[in-house]
Amino acid sequence: MIGQRAEAIAHPNIALAKYWGKLDEAQNLPAVPSLSLTLAGMSTRAAVQFDPALSADAVEIDGRPATAPAAARVAALLDLVWQAPGGPGGARPPAAVQSANDFPTAAGLASSASAFAALAVAASAAAGARWSEAELSDLARRISASAARSVFGGFVELPAATAVAPALSARPLAGPEHWDLRMIVAVTTEEAKTVGSTQGMLRTARTSPLYAGWLAVAPGIFAAVREAVLRRDLERLGEAAERSALAMHATALAAEPGLLYWNGATVELMAEVRRLRAGGLAAYFTIDAGPHVKVLTVPEEVDRVRDRLAVVPGVLRTIVARPGAGARLCSVAAQPGESP
């Protein structure tokens, strides 16, 4: 029934094998395979209600009207949901959308992943569609490829596109119970990043002389990450995850102009993680398109690792996350006055 307000929750995911580069920009198809861990402890809640009485979409993010580019991405997702086979079809009515994160937006903490996964689930329920998780993942992927992974919990893989085919979904590799790891997020700024991941990827592909090398090594790094996850081999996983992040950033740094997502604290944190490891602790870093550093460790060592990261100059705070669940619907409620 159209008019119902649906609310969903999703968690960010952090890629251990990075997605960086598109096979096709219009279809938003990844050029390399990626593998991520969905995190509990940080979340986006999104609510959607289609309402023909509105004159236009009303999109709020973190309690404020969305910027024009953010509202356009939300509208693109709503259009996809409306027009997809199994959706209502025809002209889409305007929608009221509220999305709220409990962690910094657009700072390399994959807020678009949790936001578009939550929005895909909420919008499809609000539109009265019943899609599988794979179909929801494919819808979310069209707006933000990493969002395809947040539809699922635990360890999740998103294959590379091999042809410009319309459908591509993430798939769960192992649930959150498979391996009780910890991911410590060392937050180094509250500012939004200056170059978003789509722009960064396009610039890298067009101008970085290292992009061909990245495309050549990424599938092998992904395979090493995948194997290590299945075997629960932290040393191999951590080393491959660091290799993935460093190769991605090296490629982006060599673009023109160079994409420098790091700040001083990012570099200090990488060095500190290597020192922790030299001292016998399990700690491995990864970095997305922003200056925060995410450190993989085990529950028994999380307090010691966190204490050391927290005092690195420039670290504002740390967040400890554990493997989390996939996106899910929280509520669907009819508009007052409507019969269910």
Copy the structure tokens of residue 210. Answer: 């290292």
Interface characters, 135-174, with ligand PMV (x: CB under 6 A):
---------xxx----------------------------
For residue 116, which amino acid is it? F
Give whichever of 6 and 123 is closer to ligand PMV, judged by the CB atom.
Answer: 123
* Residue 94, CA distances (Å) to 8, 47, 111, 260, 272 in order: 19, 14, 24, 38, 50
Cβ proximity to ligand PMV, 146 vs 297, nearer residue? 146
Binding-site size, ligand PMV (CB under 6 A): 14
Cα separations in angstroms, 74 against 46, 82, 97, 105? 11, 12, 8, 15
Residue (31 or 127) nearer to ligand PMV, CB: 31
Q: Which of 316, 314, 318, 291 is nearest to 304 (CA)?
A: 318
36 or 49: CB nearest ligand PMV: 36
For residue 127 the two structure tokens come to: 């539109």
User: Which positions ≥6 away from 340 have C-beta within 8 Å?
Assistant: 1, 334
Find the part of the chain contacting ligand PMV (CB under 6 A) among 16-24, 50-58, 130-138, 316-324.
16-24
Candidate segments 18-26, 53-61, 78-86, 185-193, binder of ligand PMV by CB under 6 A? 18-26
Interacting residues with ligand PMV between 181 and 200 (CB under 6 A): 197-198
| Cβ–Cβ < 8 Å for 152, 34 | no
3-class DSSP string for 178-230: HCCCEEEEEECCCCCCCCCHHHHHHHHHHHCCCHHHHHHHHHHHHHHHHHHHH
Q: What angle do CA 181, 182, 183 make, to 5 degrees?
A: 130
- Closer to ligand PMV at the Cβ: 7 or 157? 157
Binding mask 244-263 for ligand PMV (x = CB under 6 A): --------------------
Alpha-carbon gap, residue 125 to 123, rounded angstroms: 5
Please select the residue that binds ligand PMV; options are 4, 34, 99, 204, rule is CB under 6 A: 34
- In whole angstroms, how close is the CB of 154 to ligand PMV at the nearest point? 16
Q: Which of 18, 193, 306, 308 binds ligand PMV (CB under 6 A)?
A: 18
Q: Is residue 10 within 8 Å of 329, Cβ to Cβ?
A: no
Q: Shortest CA distance to 143 belongs to which of 195, 196, 217, 220?
A: 196
Segment near ligand PMV (CB under 6 A); pick from 12-20, 39-47, 129-137, 314-322? 12-20
DSSP 67: P
Q: How far is 30 from 97, CA to CA, in rounded Å?
A: 27
State how far the Cα of 124 lies from the Cα of 239, in Å rounded to an integer: 39
Between 144 and 188, CB nearer to ligand PMV? 144
Tell me if residue 48 falls in helix, strand or coil: strand
Stretch that binds ligand PMV, among 11-19, 120-128, 180-188, 262-270 (CB under 6 A): 11-19
Report, in Å, the least distance between residue 51 CB and ligand PMV: 29
Q: Which of 6, 8, 9, 15 binds ligand PMV (CB under 6 A)?
A: 15
Q: CB of 24: closest distance to ligand PMV in angstroms?
A: 14
19 counts as binding ligand PMV under rule CB under 6 A: yes
Q: Which is nearer to ligand PMV, 7 or 288 (CB)?
A: 288
> By the criterion CB under 6 A, which residues form the site for ligand PMV?
15, 18-20, 34, 110, 112, 144-146, 197-198, 288-289
